[in-house]
A and B are shown apart, each in its own frame.
Chain A
Amino acid sequence: EAGVTQSPRYAVLQEGQAVSFWCDPISGHDTLYWYQQPRDQGPQLLVYFRDEAVIDNSQLPSDRFSAVRPKGTNSTLKIQSAKQGDTATYLCASSFWESDYTFGSGTRLLVI
């Protein structure tokens, strides 16, 4: 069974540039999560979806970050105007039950 797939693996940007991250969850998983993990810290939830609906985006910096999951399958997280403070690994996870929570390998973003 395929796992959670994320792309790209790495991204390097200058401040002010835009970037999009893509996530393909495990087939059948209705819930999809995006986490931000700064260096030497634990992941922090940015947003999560159940099917195509946003359930909680309270931790998403809405002025520059956006996330969509239009058909309830794949998802895209976009940063409009990146800042150095956005440097982190962005992790996608999906689940149907609590027990099958699965992470992708992440996208490492460096903003210079």
Chain B
Amino acid sequence: QQKVQQSPESLTVSEGAMASLNCTFSDGTSNNFRWYRQHSAKGLEVLVSIFSDGEKEEGRFTAHLNRANLHVSLHIREPQPSDSAVYLCAVSMYSNYQLIWGSGTKLIIKP
């Protein structure tokens, strides 16, 4: 069964510095990998969806996928205090598109 783990649990970064978040998974045959952001008391906002090994950029957000190493990362360029939120990694299963989630990284951007 697919297991997804995120690290670190929490991260504090100064405004403008790069923020890097990690996600490892147990089954590399999964369909798709996504990064979501969740502000307190708000819904889930998808940031980047990546299927192929390599890099995918969406604005200031870049995901790197390495299926062989069972690893996907998210890098946030020039983060701002408004980027402070919980970031969740989700892995989509081929069979039913069910999403398997990590427990999240709480990101704090200090002005």
Contact = CB atoms under 8 A, between A and B. Distances in A.
A95 B97 contact: yes
B98 interface: yes
B44 interface: yes
Contacts, number: 47
B80 interface: no
Given A42-B88, A103-B44, 18 more contacts: A31-B97, A40-B103, A41-B104, A42-B104, A43-B88, A44-B101, A45-B99, A48-B96, A48-B98, A55-B96, A95-B97, A98-B31, A98-B97, A99-B49, A101-B46, A101-B92, A103-B43, A105-B42
Interface of B: 4, 31-32, 41-44, 46, 49, 88, 90, 92, 96-99, 101-104
Interface of A: 31, 33, 40-45, 48, 55-56, 91, 93, 95, 98-99, 101, 103-106, 108
